[in-house]
Amino acid sequence: MKILTGNDLRSGAVTWWNGSGWSLFVDDAVDVGKDAEEILAREEAARRVNVPYVIEASIDAAGHVRPAHIKDRVRALGPTVRRDLAVPTAQKTGWDWVI
């Protein structure tokens, strides 16, 4: 599946396209399929999110949306070395999910 991600303009926080807006939780990300470029163009013009981009992802066995690349999995949860600063998603997935 293809999902969209970027960083919120005001806070810089990692965000995921949920079909109607931007969510802080990767599990809210939806498959944008062939609409990716159209949504990206529209959202770039809206200037709410910095440099949104499309990535590959999958649904793992537990039902979580899992970005294909480790960099985006680190973005999804937070720094692996400061688990106290993680987004709440991390509590559901566990940190092994990143590697």
Partner 1 sequence: MYRYDQYDQAMVDARVAEFRDQARRRLEGKLTEDQFKPLRLMNGLYLQLHAYMLRVAIPYGTLDSRQLEKLADIADKYDRGYGHFTTRQNIQYNWIKLEDAADILAELASVEMHAIQTSGNCIRNISSDHFAGAAADEVVDPRPYAELMRQWSSFHPEFSYLPRKFKIAVIASEKDRAAMRLHDIGIRIVKRGAEVGAEVYAGGGMGRTPMVAPLIRDFVALDQLITYAEAALRVYNRYGRRDNKYKARIKILVHELGAAEYTRQVEEEFAHLLSVGVEPPLAELERIKAHFAPPPFVSSEVETPFEQHLSTILEANGGQGSAFGRWVRRNTHPHKAPGYVSAVISLKPAGGIPGDATSEQMRLVAKLARDHSFDELRVMHTQNLLLPHVRIADLPAVWQALDEAGLGSPNMDTIEDIIACPGLDYCSLANARSIPLAQRISERFAETGRTEVVGELKLKISGCINACGHHHAGHIGILGVDKKGVENYQLSLGGSEAEDVSLAKITGPGFDEDGVIAAVEKVTDVYLAKRSDGERFLDTYRRIGMEPFKEALYG
Residues that bind partner 1 (CB under 8 A): 7, 9-14, 46-47, 50-51, 68-71, 74-75, 78-82, 85, 99
Closest to partner 1 by CB, 34 vs 95, is 95
**Nearest one of 92, 43, 52, 47 to 72, comparing CA atoms:** 52
Nearest distance from residue 22's CB to partner 1, in Å?
15
**Burial of residue 11 (number of CB atoms within 10 Å: 0-12, 13-18, 19+):** exposed
Nearest distance from residue 20's CB to partner 1, in Å?
20
Nearest distance from residue 15's CB to partner 1, in Å?
11
**Burial of residue 82 (number of CB atoms within 10 Å: 0-12, 13-18, 19+):** exposed
